[in-house]
Structure 1
Amino acid sequence: MLKDTIKSGDWKGEKHVPVIEYSREGDFVKVEVSVGKEIPHPNTPEHHIAWIELYFHPEGENFPIMVGRVAFTAHNDPLTEPRAVFYIKTNKKGKLYALSYCNIHGLWENEVTLE
């Protein structure tokens, strides 16, 4: 199963775990997802974050909605950084899930509750 291959952890001590930060701005929720906030992640052709995905699972719904995916195709410090901003038009509560992919260390996840 895929779930057995996805890793997680505390982003303050593990550079691969995506960090999810959000703020409400009128009718929208601004969500920033980044990898390597406390411990920078390498960004070289040999070792890099290839992509980040964001999902929103509204309270009371049966399944999450894919909000978006950002692929990082330039891997040469300091050209790019594994960070993406998404806007969700919702006033619902629920869970935000982020998934990131390191070309060496695989899939990593994190989640936060959207109040």
Structure 2
Amino acid sequence: MLGEYIKSGDFKGEKHVPVIEAPDTVKKNEWFEVEVSVGKEIPHPNLVEHHIAWIELYAMPEGAPYILRIGRYEFSPTLEEPVIKAKIKLEKNSKLIALSYCNIHGLWEGSKDVKVEE
């Protein structure tokens, strides 16, 4: 049910979509950096009355019946940009999924596939 309320789009034309920057291919169980930002091409307002309140980052391993929450990152309006960096490792090919929450425009989703090599 929640899925019908999550919006997505092209981050070059929509300032709410979380953009995931990570390598396309990583080595199994080796740490790598992931950056998630909102407003990559079109800056999002960072005002008390209109801001990104939080970003959540997930990994969906290939063939798994579950999703793993990597972390939730909350922001203070006017004091922080909605950008996070996390250092993670994966065991198998995965889809990274980011959710962001705008206090006016709701939930937004972005994703990136990451291939894992031995």
TM over 0.5: yes
Alignment match of 1:58 (pick from 49, 58, 61): 61
Identical amino acids, percent of aligned pairs: 59
Tell me how far apart the structure 1 counterparts of residues 16 and 90 of structure 2 sit (CA, whole Å).
Answer: 28
> What are structure 2's unaligned runs of at least 5 residues?
none
Considering only aligned residues, what root-mean-square deviation do their CA atoms show, in Å?
1.5
CA contact (8 A) 1:29 1:90 kept: no
Q: Which residue of 2 aligns with 1:29?
A: 32
* Residues 7-29 of structure 1: per-residue CA shift (max 9 Å, x gap): 00000110000000013488112
Deviation (angstroms), 1:93? 1.2
> What are structure 1's unaligned runs of at least 5 residues?
none
TM-score (norm 1): 0.91
TM-score (norm 2): 0.89
Tell me how far apart the structure 2 counterparts of residues 83 and 33 of structure 1 sit (CA, whole Å).
Answer: 6
Q: Which residue of 2 aligns with 1:15?
A: 15
User: Secondary structure at 2:3's aligned position in 1?
Assistant: helix
In the alignment of these two chains, the number of paired residues is 112
Q: Which residue of 1 aligns with 2:87?
A: 87
Deviation (angstroms), 1:91? 4.1
**Structure 1 segments of 4+ aligned residues over 4 angstroms from their partners:** none
Q: Does 1:70 align with 2:80?
A: no
Tell me how far apart the structure 2 counterparts of residues 5 and 16 of structure 1 sit (CA, whole Å).
Answer: 14
Q: Which residue of 1 aligns with 2:102?
A: 102
Q: For structure 1, which segment, 60-69 or 32-41, has the greater mean C-alpha deviation from structure 2 after superposition?
A: 60-69
